[in-house]
Structure 1
Amino acid sequence: MPEYYAYWISTALLSALYLASATIYVIKRDWVRQALADLGYTASYLIPFMIVIKVLGPVAILSRVSVTLSDLAYAGIFFHLLLSALAHAGVRKPAGALPAAIGLALLVTSFMTQNDVRSVPSPYVQAAVR
């Protein structure tokens, strides 16, 4: 039973983090553009792409239309959070990496407990436990 709560709480918080981030990307577009420039990324074409990804990732995990798509969303979110943390660390702004670190903890918890809650198990969770 604790796995049930761990999964749904971590997944809900991870989804809330991503949807809040997507909302900020939409509402504060200029601020986001400047924040990305401060990290060394001047490609403003990434913003619309990231908005879509930050919405579709949690939707794929929550809806679980396909286990493969859900696992792909977990992988994409993992790499996004990891690269975000490294980008902030690379410009010596470790406080900026805090949301990514929290997101990584939520992601790992959600991923590792998903088979305890979902009817169709992910084959990758069993491989990660070994």
Structure 2
Amino acid sequence: METTKLYRPVGLKEMELIAELDYNAFPPRLEWQPIFYPVTNQQYAEQIAFEWNTVDEFSGFIGIVTAFEVNSDFLKKYEIQNVGDKNHNELWIPSEDLNEFNFNIVDGIQIVNVYFTDRSLVSENKGLKDKLDSFRK
């Protein structure tokens, strides 16, 4: 099976929900979130995590970059959307397709980078806290 590597910048609360799902799935979208948008490159994911998540109280003032492989055949029905600069590419997965998207994740969700601020909240999940702390410089 061929896979495609995707990335998703998240805040602390979403990362805690991912941890509760054993790093194998993304949590359901909130009512006001009609799409799930993974991005196609780590540089763009890091830009979002650093510029948006670290200044957002809802994100816990922390930007976490996740990476994961998805079955490429499943992704063929979604067009890559460019939303700005040449590397600002993402997929728009309707929230009602998220369960099927999660089913097509191969080998789980990994944390690949974390951006902290002086206001970053700390997870109460010991395992997740340890993973995040391993990225402190």
Normalised by the size of structure 2, how large is the TM-score?
Answer: 0.24
Structure (1/2) with the larger strand percentage: 2
Structure (1/2) with the larger helix percentage: 1
Normalised by the size of structure 1, how large is the TM-score?
Answer: 0.25
Between structure 1 and structure 2, the one with the greater Rg is 1
